[in-house]
Amino acid sequence: MNHDAIWITGVGVLSPLGHRFDDLADALLAGKSGVERVNRFDVSQHPSQIGAAVRAVPCPDDVDPEQFARRDRYSQAILWCVASALQDAGYWHQRQERRIGIVFGLASEWMWQWEEDHFQHHKLTVENASLEGPSRIARLAEELELSGPCTTVSAACASGNFALAQARRWLQMGWVDVCIAGACDMALTPMVLAAFGNLRALSRQNDRPQAASRPFDKARDGFVLGEGGSVLILERAETARRRAARVYGELAGVGLSSDAYHPVIPSPDAAPATEAIRRALREANVTPEQVDYVNAHGTSTPVGDVCETKALHAAFGSAIENTPVSSTKSMTGHLLTAASALEGIACLASFARRAVPPTINLDDPDPECRLNHVAKVAQERPVKVALSNSFGFGGSNSCAVFKAVS
C-alpha cells in the first residue's frame, strides 16, 4: 500500500450560496444564509415551507448547452460538480490519459425522478432516462471516457465522507491515479419536504426563513432542507507535485462506524460516533489538541446536536473547550446525502481564508451543547487542521480530517 499523502487538487461545488469555491468560501465567512421560502412548488399545505434551494444549475464549459438542458436536474447537478472539479484540477482535457476513478454518494435520486415523472408528467428523453444511482454514475464515466473504476455509496448524510474514505483507499492501493469523490442531493421536492415535515424533523419557523436553521441554539426546532453537491479531486502528493498542481489541502484521515440504533433517531449512546472521530484522528496522526476547527454535523435538531456534543467531549476530552466549533448548515441548510461533501469544502475554505466560518442564528446556546462555538461572525485565525463530522440516518457515523498543505 502506498502511504504517500492524499492531496485535494480540484473542487466542484453546487450550493445555495454559490457554485465556485471562492463564492462559497466568501458567503460562509460572511455569514450569509441561503434559506428562503420554497417557491418551486406549492408549499401552502406543508408544515415546513422553507429550504435552501439551488435556483439553476450552470452548464459546464465545453459541454453542449442544448444537450445539458435536456438532462434531468439531478444529472445536471452531478455533471456540473464533476466537470467543474476536473477543470479546476487541470484534468478535463487530459482525463483519458489517467486512470481516473469515481466514488459518488447518492441516495434519494430515485425519489426526485419518480416525482418528476409521475407528479409533473415530465417527458423523459434518452439523455435523462430514469436510472438508478450506479447506472447514472456508470453512464457519466462512459460519457467522459474515464478508465478507472466507478461506484456509488449510500450512507445517508455521511455518504460524502464514505466516498472520500473509499477514494483515499483506492489511491493508496494504486488502483487509480486520480479519484473523483463527492456527493449530490437535489431533495428539495414535495415528497421529501412532506416526509421530513411529518416526521417533525424540519424547522417550522416559516415566518423567518433565514433564522430557522440554528444549530446548538435553545430555540432550534429542526433542520432546514438544502440541495446541491460537491466533488473533490484526489491524487497522491507525488503526482500533484510532479505536475505543480494547485493544492487545497490534504485528506489526512477518515473514521467510520455504525450504531444501527434507529432508522431516523440518533443513538443516545455516543460511543459509536466517538469512535469514528477517534479513528479519523488516529489515521491522520493528529491529537485533539492539534485540531484548529471542527465543522460539526450540527443539524439544528433538538436530539442530534446534544448527541454530537457528547461525542466531541468524549473524543477530545478537555481539548474541546479550546477548539472552535461551528455548523455551516446554519447557512446552507442540510444537504442530506451531499452534506459532508459540501462541509469538507468549508474546511478547505478555512485554510484558504485563515478563518473559521460561523454558526449563524446562535443567539442563546443550549447548555447541553457546551462547546467553543463560533457564533454569528467568522473568527479570524490560522487553520492547519480541520475536522468534519457527519452522522447519517440509520447510524452511519463518519469523520474526516483535513490538513493544510504549505
- Given the residues 157, 179, 347, 399, the one annotated as active site: 157
Point out the least confidently predicted range of 121-125, 177-181, 343-347: 121-125
Active-site residue, 307 included: no
pLDDT > 70: what percent of the chain?
93
Helix (H) or strand (E) holding 160: helix 159-173
pLDDT in tens, 44-54: 999 999 999 99
**List of domains in the chain:** 6-242 (3.40.47.10), 253-397 (3.40.47.10)
In angstroms, the CA 332 to CA 221 distance is: 16
| Whether residue 264 has pLDDT greater than 60 | yes
Cα angle, residue 150 at apex, residues 130 and 91 outer, rounded to 5°: 105
| Whether residue 115 has pLDDT greater than 70 | no
Orientation of helix 109-118 relative to helix 190-198, angle to 10° = 120
How many residues does this entry show for the chain?
A: 406
| Whether residue 118 has pLDDT greater than 80 | no
The residue to which cell 466507478 is assigned: 150
Beta pairing partners, 314: none
The contacts of residue 178 (CB under 8 Å, 6+ apart) are 89, 91, 98, 99, 100, 101, 148, 233, 234, 235, 239
Residue 130 — pLDDT band, cuts 50, 70, 90?
very low
| Whether residue 126 has pLDDT greater than 70 | no
Predicted pLDDT at 352: 98
Q: Check residue 254 and give left, alpha or beta (phi > 0: left; psi -120 to 50: alpha).
A: beta
Predicted pLDDT at 124: 47
Point out the least confidently predicted range of 119-123, 157-161, 250-254: 119-123
CB atoms within 10 A of CB 135: 12
Residue 128 — pLDDT band, cuts 50, 70, 90?
very low
Active-site residue, 157 included: yes
For residue 381, CA distances in Å to 152, 251, 323 come to: 36, 21, 12
- Given the residues 46, 150, 179, 297, the one annotated as active site: 297
pTM reported for the whole predicted model: 0.94
Rounded mean pLDDT, 182-187: 94
Predicted pLDDT at 393: 84
Active-site residue, 118 included: no
- Given the residues 19, 46, 334, 373, the one annotated as active site: 334
In angstroms, the CA 134 to CA 151 distance is: 6
Beta pairing partners, 324: 372
